[in-house]
Amino acid sequence: MLRLAGARLLDERDLPEVIGVLNSDPVASCMVAARVEVAGLDPWRLGGEVWAVDHRSLRGSRVDGLCYSGPNLVPLRGNAAALRSFADRARRRGRVCSSLVGPAEQVMGLWQELRPDWGPAREVREDQPLMAMFRGPDVPPDPLVRPVRPDELERYLPAAISMFVEEVGVDPCAEDGGASYRARVAELVAGGRAFARFEGGEVVFKAEIGALSGKVGQIQGVWVRPDRRGRGFGTAGTAAVADHLIRGFGRAASLYVNSFNSAARAAYRRVGFEQVGQYATVLF
């Protein structure tokens, strides 16, 4: 006989099973795996919580639902009943996230449950192709794209802010004068995960490796200065970052992109990325 338990908070005893679930789809789970591999499942160290829904029987149990709750709410696995359990727990906790993001089926199912209490959303992006590549790029990488040095942070930051405003639709400096966003960008720079092409001391291309698990790195924040667009900087620059990930870090390269951004999707295909899944994002 099977019974479906409610969503429960996981702890270190659950780590082997969680790692197994994350490894079953390393590209889709990269954002969560990058945190769990470093911090484990302790909420204080993780900066969030990992929830699960189990099927249990006399023969044991299996994880039928997995969700990370932190700065983002990321449902990675779950049928309708599991998503209802996650929604119940999220409602009790209150909204602490800035977005729902992850595999589209789970995100949109969870949003359907949460929308009456958490809606309306600022924006819902239902179709974001999840793309990956596991070998070197198909086009020559831009040799001038390189890791940003810590002493270049102040020159890099305006481009990062411009990208954020353009992509997310809000100013990351609005709430605390940009201190939190600056700290996050500085962390990426210090970790060798922010890349740029500089010309005359100014950034003309930028991108970052936002999440880095043991198997996959997720590229984010791809941006070309408006007066340089349409000249191939985005394609060659993204190829350079992907090359760093694959040859330098020894990981697969991944990213997700809005379905309506046909120019970006075409550029990523030229680089060698192939669609491996579908993401969705709900922005608050």
- pLDDT tens profile 54-101: 865 444 456 789 999 999 999 999 999 999 999 999 999 999 999 999
- Residue for token pair 């408006």: 226
Are 203 and 267 found together in one domain?
yes
Specify if 158 maps to a domain: yes
> For residue 52, is pLDDT > 90?
yes
Are 157 and 261 found together in one domain?
yes
Average confidence (pLDDT) over 3-32: 90
> For residue 53, is pLDDT > 80?
yes
Instruction: List, as one string, the DSSP characters of 186-201.
Output: HHHHHTT-EEEEEETT
Which of 201, 241, 248, 200 is CA-nearest to residue 222?
241
Specify if 172 maps to a domain: yes
Are 97 and 212 found together in one domain?
no
* Alpha carbon distance 155, 162 (integer Å): 12
Specify if 137 maps to a domain: no
Are 154 and 244 found together in one domain?
yes
Specify if 248 maps to a domain: yes
Say how many domains are in the chain: 2
Task: Return mean pLDDT, the chain.
Answer: 94
Rounded to a whole number of angstroms, the distance between the first and last alpha carbons of the chain is 41
Write down the pTM of the prediction.
0.92
In one-letter notation, the amino acid at residue 227 is D
Which of 56, 51, 77 is CA-nearest to residue 65?
77
pLDDT tens-digit profile of 152-210?
Answer: 999 999 999 999 999 988 999 988 888 999 999 999 999 999 999 999 999 999 999 99
Specify if 136 maps to a domain: no
Are 21 and 63 found together in one domain?
yes
* Alpha carbon distance 275, 182 (integer Å): 32
- Give me 71's structure tokens: 């700065």
36: Cβ contacts below 8 Å, ≥ 6 apart? 15, 18, 19, 22, 46, 50
For residue 224, the cross-strand partners are 205
CATH number of the domain within which 35 lies: 3.40.630
In which domain, by residue range, is 152 found?
146-278
Distances (CA, A) of 75 to 9, 67, 68, 147, 277: 14, 4, 6, 32, 15
Specify if 125 maps to a domain: no
